[in-house]
Chain A
């Protein structure tokens, strides 16, 4: 149970600024996900917390005390490395037992812990394997995970711990992490490039890009109220629809217009950020577009370009004037190319972004 605080953390590798002033607070016992594309700085941030990389500026606090002066071997964190970092000259058993041996545990305690964690990760049959390089990718990943989970540190740092497992095992592992977190009540920081994974395991998610945390929020807020265009497009599948147009003040509220359509936004523009006649980007999630809707002021005739039937839902690509939109509809819909449908874009579900800065305007 350790509260982790990161203040103004900066780290450069030569001319590359990997972290540009990270601020993050992880409550004691929380499971927080770091969500961002490759090269966002997730790994560097985790390595700084583990102590194997030294930040150029800023501070890292465990329970209010700076740990920058504590070397990694005394910092008492466990880290899963994205590259697995198995010790190639040790057997699977010795790999998992290594952190315990280094902590001078008794032989029996080590044996019990190693076997328990191996059982949990279903690699008990691999313990005798001499050469970890002969394991498959998924097996290596589970061995590395076992080495991380075998002890009880102050903080767990997991760098893309399940990215290489097959879909079924990944699903199981997500549940396993939640269960583990509930049992251990440990602070866990979990890095992943997959928003579904982040949403599935974490209570709070920090979206990180180019060494900056763009938004630190709950999954539902990241979905509904993204702070900027990047967060909006990075989260959600299919990707959020974005159109460019002009907003104008009308008697009944705001209206968004492109050359081919007009959308009534109602009173969304209560914020002072909107000004009459300014150019904005309008974003609407594919799940929010209503297909075959009853006619109202935000109804449009759209042409079907493609339909991907995925079983429980159908992803439809639509052409609406000069823009292309994706929409998601429940069930298997027998749409065909060229069909015409009436769609509805609910004005209260749209998000507006400033064209220049990409910041959301609420």
Chain B
């Protein structure tokens, strides 16, 4: 009796495990497939990319990746003499994206972390009002301020400059940085910082030796969030840049082939463009895992 019940329970456990695995695999396929398709397309020739039914076995070509960076004059250009916006010389755009993203995130993170810590610890008069005010800058749809900012930038000479884009993205990201980091700093037990004060650290040391290490997980998550914001930003990059400062998202949208859209080429650019994001996610994953056990060193109270 007992044996058969054990067997039944064991079998039910196996079935459940198998079901869990199957649903996990389906979920993974669901999320991975678009990325697979993107990479696959980037390795196909134009004809292969358009074939029906879709090709799952083919001889991969790296032509698209070479074409992104090598300037080729097209036949149409040769005849008309008119320069087309081609997906060539992509390194400039990648460089622009890196410069703009890195600079604006560095500034937004430093200012945001310091502001968040001040709000969280020192609670200056009107903290709630100020925090709401900071948040309220995110409440307008970007498109509403697009035209004013365009004219504003034109007249200030910030149009088509790195500094213009960097300032704009910093401003857009600060509310996120302040709000996210404040909630992480709020979670650091005050007793830990007070213990450090009594142990002989002044407030500046308490900040970078005690408080900051506690929120590294949150900092990683915040930076990841900000990078995705800036890295993917399209609207303002389109409005406020020309060829010299153009970022990759705008360049992708502007990519035209000689005849119609060259999906292979676009897929190649996009594959390269999502690579840093993928790497970032894998780096941050470790932080996120540690985030689950974050803040467990606490007393009985």
Q: Which of A50-89 contact B (CB under 8 A)?
A: 50-52, 71-73, 75, 77-79, 81-89
Instruction: Compute how far the CA of A47 lies from the CA of B198 in the bound complex, rounded to whole angstroms.
Output: 9
- Within 8 Å of chain B (Cβ to Cβ): is A245? no
Instruction: Compute how far the CA of A99 lies from the CA of B200 in the bound complex, rounded to whole angstroms.
Output: 6
Number of interface residues of B (CB under 8 A): 25
A133 partner, pick from B192, B194, B199, B297, beta carbons under 8 A: B297
Are B300 and A52 closer than 8 Å at their CB atoms? no
Are B191 and A88 closer than 8 Å at their CB atoms? no
Q: Which of B180-222 contact A (CB under 8 A)?
A: 189, 191-192, 194-202, 205, 210, 213-214, 216
Nearest CB on A from B189, distance (A): 7
Instruction: Compute how far the CA of A88 lies from the CA of B188 in the bound complex, rounded to whole angstroms.
Output: 10
If A87-B192, A89-B214 touch, whether A102 touches B297 (CB-CB below 8 Å) is no
Are B299 and A84 closer than 8 Å at their CB atoms? yes
Instruction: Compute how far the CA of A102 lies from the CA of B194 in the bound complex, rounded to whole angstroms.
Output: 14
Are B301 and A82 closer than 8 Å at their CB atoms? yes
Number of interface residues of A (CB under 8 A): 32
Which of A47, A78, A89, A147 has the most B CB atoms < 10 Å from its CB?
Answer: A89
List residues of chain B with CB within 8 A of the CB of A50: 194, 197-198
Q: Which of A25-71 contact B (CB under 8 A)?
A: 47, 50-52, 71
B194 partner, pick from A85, A89, A137, beta carbons under 8 A: A85
A73 partner, pick from B197, B295, B298, beta carbons under 8 A: B197
Nearest CB on A from B188, distance (A): 9
B199 partner, pick from A47, A83, A147, beta carbons under 8 A: A147
Instruction: Compute how far the CA of A82 lies from the CA of B192 in the bound complex, rounded to whole angstroms.
Output: 11
- Within 8 Å of chain B (Cβ to Cβ): is A103? yes
Q: Which residue of A lies closest to B188 (CB)?
A: A88
Q: Which of A156-210 contact B (CB under 8 A)?
A: 163-164
- Within 8 Å of chain B (Cβ to Cβ): is A247? no
- Within 8 Å of chain B (Cβ to Cβ): is A211? no
Q: Which residue of A lies closest to B293 (CB)?
A: A133
If A88-B214, A89-B214 touch, whether A83 touches B198 (CB-CB below 8 Å) is no
If A47-B194, A52-B198 touch, whether A84 touches B214 (CB-CB below 8 Å) is no
Instruction: Compute how far the CA of A75 lies from the CA of B199 in the bound complex, rounded to whole angstroms.
Output: 10
- Within 8 Å of chain B (Cβ to Cβ): is A140? yes
A-B contacts, 18 listed (Cβ < 8 Å): A73-B201, A77-B198, A78-B198, A82-B299, A82-B300, A84-B299, A85-B191, A85-B192, A85-B194, A88-B214, A88-B296, A98-B199, A99-B200, A103-B200, A132-B297, A133-B296, A137-B299, A164-B299
Q: CB within 8 Å of B: which residues of A?
A: 47, 50-52, 71-73, 75, 77-79, 81-89, 98-99, 102-103, 132-133, 137, 140-141, 147, 163-164
Give the 10 A-B residue pairs with the shortest CB-CB distance, closest first.
Answer: A83-B299, A102-B200, A85-B195, A85-B191, A99-B199, A52-B194, A88-B297, A89-B213, A72-B197, A133-B297
